[in-house]
Amino acid sequence: MKNFLKQKRGSIAIEASLLFGLFVLLIMLIADVGSVLLMKQRLDRLAYSLASIVRERSVLYNNEPLDENQADEIFTITKNLTKGVFRDADNLSIKIESIEFDKSNKTTAIPTETKSFTRGNMLCAQSLDISVLSEAAVYTPVGNWSPMYRVSVCAKPVSNFYLKTNVATNLVNMDSQAVVYAR
């Protein structure tokens, strides 16, 4: 037994295997964080694209207020836009919010109607209520307050290495939101 502990043959192979294992774990961690950041970037672009669709829909619907059918159509567009981009469309949810203002008051934006539509099997939580955003309302040259829309997109991250939890999800929120004014 004493000779076994004193032998130096094979020590380099043991040290190399330990370092190689740690190196592989480090590469997996970097790839996992990179994939989560890439997914976050995709969510940002998706939220802005959907917000643009909500803003421009007034041309298609003759300036009708946002309703359940339009929210369903936007969620269908969301699923079609994300085919091939996200692994599982069931892990994606959206929340569409609108706020209308009192058209008779020309000095202060007073919210008159707030609507919210949620689609998908997850809850997209926002840090601020949309009525707080009324402070940023815009009075248009046409003579009315422009409605505001907020589109939030959230996703459940999927690990690349079949781990039970994704390490990077504790570092990055997997949601994004975009706020736009109606045309």
pLDDT band at 11 (very low <50, low <70, confident <90, very high): confident
Enter the tokens of residue 96.
């569409």
Global pTM reads 0.78
Q: Is the pLDDT of residue 4 over 70?
A: no
What pLDDT shows up at residue 175?
86
> What does the pLDDT read at residue 19?
92
pLDDT (tens digit, 9 = 90+) per residue, 87-141? 666 778 899 999 988 888 888 888 888 899 999 888 877 778 888 888 888 888 8
Residue scoring higher pLDDT (183 or 104)? 104
What confidence tens digit (pLDDT) does each residue in 26-65 have?
A: 888 888 778 878 888 888 999 999 999 988 887 777 777 7
Cα separation, 117 vs 183, in Å, equals 20
**SS3 per-residue string spanning the chain:** CHHHHHCCCCHHHHHHHHHHHHHHHHHHHHHHHHHHHHHHHHHHHHHHHHHHHHHHHHHHCCCCCCCHHHHHHHHHHHHHHCCCCCCCHHHEEEEEEEEEECCCCCCCCCEEEEEEEEECCCCCCCCCCHHHHHHHCCECCCCCECCEEEEEEEECCCCCCCCCCCHHHHCCCCEEEEEEECC
